[in-house]
Structure 1
């Protein structure tokens, strides 16, 4: 299934974008509610805040650059970009996350614009930005091709795109694999988020519209939440996707018990709770320049 419905499928004279359909609007409403649940801003601050500056450094944000952070959450890339002197717009499908971001930006002494926006239908003009970023954000847009098209569209010629995504093989990618048997099936046409952590997939999405592509697998180390069970329980209360899966199986104690055990074991296999063993989460860092 493509991201554009044909006239025969829609009964209209012109193609209809996925984002224009009732089904997609309902899907995006579910996504917004999912990310607004729990406490993602606290998770981002406590576990992965350091990823934002890494992405900003990799894309070489300069003073005066017009910067868009797509699926910005509470701003762990947008705020470092503003600290570098960029004129930053932080966009996200879930504006409920912005309050924490605004507080953090005020504490950092920077100003930026916060804008509700669907990564698959960005409300910005063509060529509007010098740098377009996404730090473990755009990867969760369900229609990858459409999201990639938007990243390229809003970035000016010779502008930079920077993407940081969890890999399928890393801890977060494997967490999604572990949760899959208990989660709702992906809607028709949607693709799994961790595919954005596969270099070949991202290269195919961006295609020949970009040049100077770099891709590097890296890891971020975790030294908090000492036990596997602590990591599992933290995600159960803070992370929207995990909360959504547990909500779906809440009436089945056997499934809840099985998922509890599986997530704790996954954390254990990746080194959580083992003194002297690194607990690291792998991500893919991609940069490119629009032709």
Structure 2
């Protein structure tokens, strides 16, 4: 049984790697037509958020609002710590540069996410996610799409093959809707056989599994070109912006829920988000900052394990 699960896990990792490679290739092609922001932040961010979106929709329809909330925000801490940290290390190893210099264009993602974070903090203070908070949460994403479109209109286009780019992105992204589910289930089955605690599964194992494809896509982008580091970061922020705005809005528009039971986790998301925004504020990610994010992740997990036990 265990060997069958391990073989299944290996096969799924290979499939996810292939999907990530296709998505990265498609994104690079779409960049030529739409620019990094729309290609990385909007299109790739949307595709990467599809699994969470579907889970949230099904959870809301079934009245499982706690699951919906967890699915919407599950990867924020991991992606903004381990994800960005690993990107900085990979960049250093590949290009022998201790600093990732991000394009000025990433300010759109930065400002949009900052707006969303402020509204998210207001929701935490209020203690509930309801119809009115949901409407407010939609505004940063609407602003983001508007700014991206406006920026696209003013950019000089190189001219890429849009059909080819979309084909690659969809060919890699759509199967992830199904692959991700089985991958996470397999991870949980393997962990259960090894008698890992449910808390460890929820806090550590499941988020890593859920965000694997996004990290693999970032790896492929960076290995292809140093300038694609900006695209990778746009994807990280764009996908989590969508989760914090659109997905939370779906929940709030459907049902008023209390945020008090998840207060510790939500506060950690805020803390990690603030620290991450602080790091990328000057559009430079230094290797020591990337390494520090690993420590922040370890601390976050330790806090969750300590107070969730």
- TM-score (structure 2 length as normaliser): 0.23
Structure 1 or 2: larger helix share?
Answer: 2
Report 1 or 2 for greater relative contact order, CA contacts < 8 Å, sequence distance ≥ 6. 2
